[in-house]
Structure 1
Amino acid sequence: MSIDGLPPLREVIERHGLQAKKALGQNFLLDLNLTGKIARAAGNLSDSTVIEVGPGPGGLTRALLSAGARRVIAIERDERCLAALAEVSNHYPGRLEVISGDALKTDFAALANAASQGGDLVRIAANLPYNIGTELLIRWLTVTDWPPFYQSMTLMFQREVAERIVAGAGSEAYGRLGVLAGWRTEARIAFDVPPQAFTPPPKVTSSVVHLVPRASPLATDVKKLGRVTEAAFGQRRKMLRQSVKSLGGEALLMRANIDPTRRAETLSVEEFVRLTNAV
């Protein structure tokens, strides 16, 4: 059963010889009910250009277009997938732009700027390749301009990473990722995706995370916050006076009015911002 009159994804993969490559962090999502669910989790797409990273054979791409996205810009590093994506593009004339290239070298703000010139809102939706997912998220969370170029991000991660993104102070999963996501966005896990939904099935459950930028996050220097969280969580079992020694140690903590004997995972996002502003 096809949602859009295009061939089933298994057939597309077979015809184009698209066996997933471990080196590219590829796990293709073939269940069109699930790709449709991800597209719906991204919200109303009728006024949006959606940026997608790692479309592979185009399962989520098709779901986004079928759900009414005005346009999709898909960035794909694996040239083997381009012919399959061209078929999707022909099926949705003028609505899919495929960029052959590396997402880590892509200027997303420039892509978004061009889309918003045409009056579109910009959203990011992707089943991110496992090996670059966290790095891309950190880049998107720490852009200089805020509010950022995107209205929302709907992204698939390994469940363990998803838990770190939405974690709050005091939780086992709380760390640098939780501070950055909690500082600048409202993040929640939308739903889980079992391993058998993918080809090849990963060893772990995946989760779709939906992040909406906060209009006015607490004011601080984004690069400094990165340094502070890196130092604090780099030695998370130690007291803060030890872990942030290189940034000023006890004197810094006293200036920020934070007890030097506390540990990083007990500090709220607000306290991390206060600590950063005291550096």
Structure 2
Amino acid sequence: MKPLPPLREVIAAHGLNASKALGQNFLLDEQLLDRIARIPGPLAGERVYEVGPGPGGLTRALLRAGGEVVAVERDRRCLPALADVNAASDGRLTLIEGDAMAIDEEAVVGRGAHIASNLPYNVGTALLVRWLSGESWPPFWKSLTLMFQLEVAERIVAKPGTSAYGRLAVLAQWRSEAKLAMKVHRSAFVPPPKVMSAVVHLTPKDAPEGVSAAILERITAAAFGQRRKMLRRSLQALPGAVEALERLGIDPERRAETLSVDDFVNLARMLGS
């Protein structure tokens, strides 16, 4: 990387006030950004996909770590600052102007890419669910290193029986390893958000045999969509679900948050057979 001005100077020079409508909060501490960039492991020669780079703080760190970065940004105000990073990157940065929700990620980065991003708050969960969904497994991504509000991060790694445990935990954990890699204080951002943040790291693991992702998603949506109700009530719209619970030895009067990830996997397997 060729030398670049400090991020605060870049933001001031380009008038990049964070957009609340776009869920932006800029992270400027370069040591902290370098720590985040190291979470996926050695990046030398590895492809990395980044959503919402903003002025390019994490982008710089990923490039310093040796990554070949594809960055998607919808805020046109940020493009000149990112063009400067591109010029300093020795050809290792590809910029795409567009909406990450409409991008075919595998088409632009191929298979085996890491995804690393300080995700915009307004689309972070939707993107994660998309990356975790679908019947094809393993996915195109090699790992996910993602910044969320702390509350969302805790929901991703939550264990059964806790208040944070829900649909997101099951979708994240049934065929991935999910861990909370680090917490980030609100004061590290410009402007400071109202809540703490955290980085979650996910890596794919073998998918359980005989389980349809679509069926599992329907079960978790029904079970946690009415999480205060007993499973007998919340799953009654799914044909055969209550009978399958009984065959598995799961009391239909339990609530969704008491079932383990394996319980949901076994239920999906039985309903799909």
Same fold (TM over 0.5): yes
1:81 has 2:51 as partner: no
Question: Are the aligned partners of 1:218 and 1:273 in contact in 2 as well (CA < 8 Å)?
Answer: no
1:5 maps to which residue? 3
Partner of 2:58: 60
The equivalent residue for 1:273 is 265
Residue identity matched to 1:124: I
Q: Residue 49 of structure 2 is aligned with which of 48, 51, 54?
A: 51
The unaligned stretches of length 5 or more in structure 1 are none
Identity %: 59
Which residue in the other structure is 1:253 paired with? 245
Which of the residues 132, 137, 145 maps onto 2:123?
Answer: 132
Look up the match of 1:98. Answer: 95
Q: Alpha-carbon deviations, 1:42-70, whole Å to 9, x = none?
A: 2110131100000000000000001111x
Task: Render the CA deviation track for 1:164-213: whole Å, top value 9, x for unaligned.
Answer: 00012111110000001110111101111101110110001100011010
2:51 counterpart letter in structure 1: V
1:262 matched residue in structure 2: 254
Aligned position for 1:37: 35
How many Å separate the matches in 1 of 2:2 and 2:149?
28
Cα deviation for residue 112 of structure 1 reads: 2.8
Cα distance in 1 for residues equivalent to 2:81 and 2:205: 37
User: Aligned residue for 1:182?
Assistant: 173
**Alpha carbons 1:51, 1:122 under 8 Å: kept:** yes
Match for 2:13: what amino acid? R
Query: Among residues 191, 212, 217, which one is paired with 1:226 in the alignment?
Result: 217
> What's the CA shift string for 1:95-131, capped at 9, x where partnerless?
0001000000010121232xx5xxxx41000000001
Q: For structure 2, which runs of at least 5 residues remain unmatched after alignment?
A: none
In the aligned structure 1, how far is the partner of 2:200 from the partner of 2:221? 23
- Mapped to 2, the partners of 1:192 and 1:264 lie a distance apart of 28
Asked if residue 194 in structure 1 is aligned to residue 185 in structure 2, the reply is yes
CA distance in 1, matches of 2:106, 2:210: 21
Aligned to 2:141, the other structure's residue is in SS state coil
Of the structure 1 ranges 87-96 and 210-219, higher mean CA displacement relative to structure 2 is found in: 210-219
Tell me the equivalent position of 1:215: 206
CA distance in 1, matches of 2:148, 2:2: 26
Partner Cα distance (2:145, 2:218) in 1: 26
Residue 57 to residue 171, structure 1, CA distance change in 2 (3 Å): same
Could you report, residue by residue, the CA deviation over 1:19-43 in whole angstroms, capped at 9, with x for unpaired residues? 0000000001111111111001121
**AA partner of residue 161 (structure 1):** V
Deviation at 1:4, TM superposition (A): 5.9
The answer (yes or no) to whether the contact 1:123–1:150 under 8 Å persists in 2 is: yes
* Shift of residue 252, structure 1, vs aligned partner: 3.6
Q: Which whole-Å deviations, capped at 9, do the CAs of 1:237-277 have from their partners, x for residues lacking one?
A: 11100110101353242244321111100111111012122
Q: Which residue is 1:242 aligned to?
A: 233
Distance in 2 (CA, whole Å) between partners of 1:231 and 1:93 is: 50
Taking structure 2 as the reference length, the TM-score comes to: 0.95
What TM-score do you get using the length of structure 1 for normalisation? 0.93
Alignment partner, residue 154 of structure 2 = 163
